[in-house]
Amino acid sequence: MNGKRVLVTGGAGFIGSNLANHLTESNDVIALDNGYLGTEENLNNEVEFVDVSVLDEDLPVDVDVVFHLAALSSYVMHEANPQQGTHINVKGFVNVVEQARKQGCETVVYASTSSVYGNRTEPSPENMDVQANTGYEASKLARERYAEYYSNFHDITCAGMRFFSVYQGYGGSEAHKGEYANVVAQFADSLANGEAPILYGDGTQTRDCIHVRDIVRGLEIAADEHLDGIYNLGTGESYSFNTIVELLNNELGTDIEPEYTENPIPEDVYVHDTMADITKMTTGTDWEPQIDFEEGIRLVTDEYQPESLGT
């Protein structure tokens, strides 16, 4: 993407700031964020930061492309306040897209979620039947239907990207998420600090983990190629929590056993296993994941190595 005026909502958050910082290399980028899950410190000086909510009026939407990433991004956040979750994830989406549409924007790329697939040890294609088991999933499915409306009725290309388990580690922009950070980052930080990582159940649950750099590339390609509809962004490979801890121990040179605890999330809504079918994205575009999980583990643990710590 070159020479575009771009808006990234949730632009100071984990994925949003990585995207905004990358796009500033050749674009005029506005990062919109209210600071709930993001911080301006994640952004480089080339990004224009605007501290507002996606629910506000008069948003800075005179742009060529909208990347709508702002959301309450977990089951826990939604169940604590379903009304707030609906306002931000659904009303906020419509508010941003409607204002942008009226300013002439015709390209929207937005965050959906792989959680709608439920428990899957086989690759999940975009055209399989899905259902909402949580308020979070319902809000993301609502986004997808509103995006369908904007595509069909207003002829705007709306690419909904179903993210799988996105990670970077606390050496990047993920640290601000704290307890909501990806398990790879949380486990790595615990081990590096001599603490046992906390695993729900027996640690056999699996995740399709994708590095944020590959997510950023996928988002940019979705905008460049004016994709419309739903696309998975994952790797097609899954690793158990036990395996993730083992790989992290090996890379860090530690030997710390995880601590297993009862899962506080009800079994009927907890997503135990995920795996992406990325055929649609890899055959329809020139995107494919470039960072395999072993390399990703090294990238996450680099900040804890002696040369990074200055020792």
Q: How many CA atoms lie within 13 A of 180 on its CB side?
A: 17
95-105 residue pLDDT tens: 999 999 999 99
Residues 122 and 242 in one domain: no
Residues 37 and 81 in one domain: yes
Give dist(CA 168, CA 190) in Å, integer: 15
Neighbours of 198 (CB within 10 A): 13
In this structure, are residues 31 and 12 in contact, taking their beta carbons and an 8 Å threshold? yes
Decide if 25 is inside a domain: yes
Residues 245 and 303 in one domain: yes
Residues 147 and 25 in one domain: yes
Confidence (pLDDT) at 311: 45
90-140 residue pLDDT tens: 999 999 999 999 999 999 999 999 999 999 999 999 999 999 999 999 999
In this structure, are residues 69 and 85 in contact, taking their beta carbons and an 8 Å threshold? no
Residues 11 and 150 in one domain: yes
Decide if 284 is inside a domain: no
Decide if 130 is inside a domain: yes
Bridge-based pairing of strands 165-167 and 198-200 is unpaired
Confidence (pLDDT) at 180: 82
What's the token pair of residue 16? 């949003």
One-character DSSP codes across 129-185 = -----SHHHHHHHHHHHHHHHHHHHH--EEEEEEE-EEE--TTTTTGGGGGGS-HHH
Mean pLDDT estimate for the chain: 94
Smallest CA-to-CA distance from 4 within 97, 106, 134, 99 is with: 106
The answer, yes or no, to whether residue 310 has pLDDT greater than 60, is no
Decide if 281 is inside a domain: no
Residues 14 and 142 in one domain: yes
The CATH number linked to 71 is: 3.40.50.720
The answer, yes or no, to whether residue 86 has pLDDT greater than 80, is yes
Choose between 74 and 10: higher pLDDT.
10
Residue corresponding to tokens 């993730």:
244
Residues 92 and 64 in one domain: yes
Bridge-based pairing of strands 5-9 and 65-68 is parallel
The CATH number linked to 259 is: 3.90.25.10
Residues 191 and 115 in one domain: no
Read off the pLDDT band of 74 (50, 70, 90).
confident
Confidence (pLDDT) at 77: 79
134 Cα distance to chain centroid: 18
Read off the pLDDT band of 309 (50, 70, 90).
low
Neighbours of 80 (CB within 10 A): 12
CA-based radius of gyration for the chain: 19
In this structure, are residues 184 and 297 in contact, taking their beta carbons and an 8 Å threshold? yes
Q: Which residues pair with 68 in a beta bridge?
A: 9, 110
Using a 10 angstrom Cβ sphere, with 0-12 exposed, 13-18 middle and 19 or more buried, the burial of residue 168 is buried
Residues 83 and 213 in one domain: yes
Angstrom CA distances, 24 to 3, 6, 7, 14, 19, stand at 10, 9, 11, 16, 9
Which residues are catalytically annotated?
136
Using a 10 angstrom Cβ sphere, with 0-12 exposed, 13-18 middle and 19 or more buried, the burial of residue 213 is middle
Read off the pLDDT band of 28 (50, 70, 90).
very high
Query: Count of domains in the chain?
Result: 2
Look up the domain containing 305 and give its range. Answer: 170-207+238-275+291-309
Residues 229 and 85 in one domain: yes
Decide if 83 is inside a domain: yes
Decide if 285 is inside a domain: no
Residues 151 and 299 in one domain: no
Decide if 280 is inside a domain: no
Residues 80 and 182 in one domain: no
Read off the pLDDT band of 307 (50, 70, 90).
low
In this structure, are residues 106 and 47 in contact, taking their beta carbons and an 8 Å threshold? no
Decide if 42 is inside a domain: yes
